[in-house]
Chains A and B, each alone.
Chain A
Amino acid sequence: GNSVTQMEGPVTLSEEAFLTINCTYTATGYPSLFWYVQYPGEGLQLLLKATKADDKGSNKGFEATYRKETTSFHLEKGSVQVSDSAVYFCALSDNAGNNRKLIWGLGTSLAVNP
C-alpha cells in the first residue's frame, strides 16, 4: 500500500542555518505530495504541495520538488528563523476518487535556536 517515510527528529538548528527534512514515499499511480506544518498548540496547515513529477512547491521560503525517479519530496529552506520552529508532516494523496484521503508521515520536529 501507499506509505510515507520522513526523517526522524527532533532537528535542532541555529538561526540562518540551512534546513533539509527528507521525505520518501511509496505509491501506485501518480499521487499529489504535500508538506503540512503544525506550530505549537495549533492545528496543521498546508505549507506547500506538488501535483506532478518535477513540480516544485514553494511557500514562506520553503521549497520541495516532486522527484518521481527517487520517490522523494524533501523539504528545504535556505535560512531558517526561530519562528519556523514547528512540526513538519509530509503526506501524499491517494487520489482515490471522492474518498480521497491523505497518507501521513510521522512528522519531524524542528527547533531553531537564536
Chain B
Amino acid sequence: NAGVTQTPKFQVLKTGQSMTLQCAQDMNHNSMYWYRQDPGMGLRLIYYSASEGTTDKGEVPNGYNVSRLNKREFSLRLESAAPSQTSVYFCASRGLGGETQYFGPGTRLLVL
C-alpha cells in the first residue's frame, strides 16, 4: 500500500511554461484534493474532487486546472506558470464517509 503518491518531487519551470503534477492513491478513496503550501499562509485548497467525474474550485483556483482521470488519479495542470505559483503542492485523499485526509509527500515547484 503506497498510499498517496505524487510526481515529480521537484520541478523548476520558466515563466510561461506548462506542466502537470500527478497524484495517485491506492486506498479506493472517493475524494481527492490539491493544496498549496506557502510560508505564513498555511494550506490553501486549490481544487477538489468529491468523486470520480466531478471537480470543484477551492479557495485559490486561478491559474490551475484539474482532471480526475479515474478514481485513483487526480492531476493538477499549470497552463502558463507564473512566479506566484512557486510553492509546495500537496495532494490528499479521503474515503467515503471518513473525515481524515491522507497526504502525499508533496511537489516542490519553483517558477523563475
Report the minimal beta-carbon distance from A112 to chain B, rounded to whole angstroms. Answer: 21
Report the minimal beta-carbon distance from A25 to chain B, rounded to whole angstroms. Answer: 14
* Residues B99 and A89 in contact, CB atoms below 8 Å apart: no
* Residues A49 and B99 in contact, CB atoms below 8 Å apart: yes
> Hey, which chain A residues are within 8 Å of B105, CB to CB?
42-43
Please report B residues at the A interface, Cβ cutoff 8 Å: 4, 30-31, 33, 40-43, 45, 48, 50-51, 56, 58, 90, 92, 94, 96, 99-106
Q: Output the nearest chain B residue to A98 by Cβ-Cβ distance.
A: B50
A3 CA to B2 CA in the complex, in Å?
32
B90 touches which of A32, A44, A93, A100 (Cβ 8 Å)? A44
> Hey, which chain A residues are within 8 Å of B33, CB to CB?
101
Please report A residues at the B interface, Cβ cutoff 8 Å: 32, 34, 42-46, 49, 51, 89, 93, 95, 98-102, 104-107
Of the candidates B4, B94, B101, the one having the most CB atoms from chain A within 10 angstroms of its own CB is: B101
Q: Output the nearest chain B residue to A95 by Cβ-Cβ distance.
A: B99
* Residues B31 and A43 in contact, CB atoms below 8 Å apart: no
* Residues B103 and A43 in contact, CB atoms below 8 Å apart: yes
State whether A99 and B101 are in contact (beta carbons under 8 Å apart), knowing that A43-B106, A89-B42, A89-B43 are contacts in the complex: no
> Hey, which chain A residues are within 8 Å of B48, CB to CB?
99, 101
> Hey, which chain A residues are within 8 Å of B90, CB to CB?
43-44
